[in-house]
Amino acid sequence: MNQFDLSTARSQESVLETNKVLKNTYMLLSATLVFSAIMAAVSMAMTMPPMAYMISVIGAMVLGIFVLPRTANSSKGIGVIFLITGLMGFGLGSILSIYLALPKGPEIIGTAFGGTGIIFLGLSGYALTSKRDFSFMGGFLFAGMMVVLLAVLANLFMDLPALSLAISAGIILLMSGFILFDTSRIISGGETNYIMATYGLYLAIFNIFISLLHLLGALSGDD
């Protein structure tokens, strides 16, 4: 009986811990997305050139690889995640300026924004309600990302529009898989650091938005 009480208390503790990580992750994710949007607006107001996107993304990537994992367990991690998402938002602003100049630009941006929101909410809801452990997808998702990165590398020099569209479609599917994977890792207790969890989900949302923007822009008949 005592053993049963102890295991029940432990499982309740772990559920409470999981709910806390989940709540903190979604709160920080909302804050970083709002901050990104503000930085994108600043970048658009400053009419930044397209190369600002690449420089910002590479800067954010360097911070995400080298600085964030070292600071994620302290309060400094919050500052670093805002710096990363702010940089990515700033870069995004220069891309949005290009799309806004298209005849259907505002419609494309609005559709990509709404579509990204629906994809994220739908997949998160599915992962939360199905209670399945999607961590078996880890090897497949990272292998898929490496294949996509090799295709991106090849297309930097080949400039094939069809390959570029295939890459965007592949990224949407892979990032959708990462939303399931990351959310289920939070639920199962595999990810207990809400800063790292936020970073993973933010990257998935950002990449889905950019890829959707590319697909809609290219297939809308505007260019």
Our finding on whether 130 is near other proteins (CB under 8 A) is yes
Our finding on whether 169 is near other proteins (CB under 8 A) is yes
Our finding on whether 76 is near other proteins (CB under 8 A) is no
Number of helices (H), then strands (E), belonging to the chain: the values are 8, 0
| Neighbouring residues of 2: CB distance < 8 A, sequence distance ≥ 6 | none
Q: Which is nearer to other proteins, 40 or 60 (CB)?
A: 60
Angle, CA 109 vertex, CA 87 and CA 194 arms, to 5°: 45
Considering only 24, 115, 163, 170, the residue that binds other proteins (CB under 8 A) is: 115
Angle, CA 120 vertex, CA 118 and CA 123 arms, to 5°: 100
Quick one: tokens of 46? 């400053």
Instruction: Give the single-character DSSP code of 190.
Output: S
Would you call 137 exposed, middle or buried from its count of C-beta atoms within 10 A (0-12, 13-18, 19+)? middle
Considering only 18, 24, 111, 164, the residue that binds other proteins (CB under 8 A) is: 111
133 vs 183: CA distance, rounded Å: 9
Our finding on whether 189 is near other proteins (CB under 8 A) is no
Residue 9-38 contact track with other proteins, rule CB under 8 A, x = bound: ------------------------------
Considering only 6, 15, 153, 158, the residue that binds other proteins (CB under 8 A) is: 153
Nearest approach in angstroms of CB 176 to other proteins is 5
Considering only 180, 186, 187, 201, the residue that binds other proteins (CB under 8 A) is: 180
Report residue 140 CA to chain centroid gap: 18
Angle, CA 169 vertex, CA 163 and CA 175 arms, to 5°: 130
Q: Which is nearer to other proteins, 31 or 144 (CB)?
A: 144
Confirm if 123 and 85 have CB atoms less than 8 A apart. no
Considering only 121, 173, 189, 192, the residue that binds other proteins (CB under 8 A) is: 173
Instruction: Using CB under 8 A, list all residues that contact other proteins.
Output: 51, 54-55, 57-58, 61, 65, 104, 107-108, 111-112, 115, 118-119, 122-123, 126, 130, 132-139, 141-143, 145-146, 149-150, 152-153, 156-157, 169, 172-173, 176-177, 180, 212, 215-216, 219-221
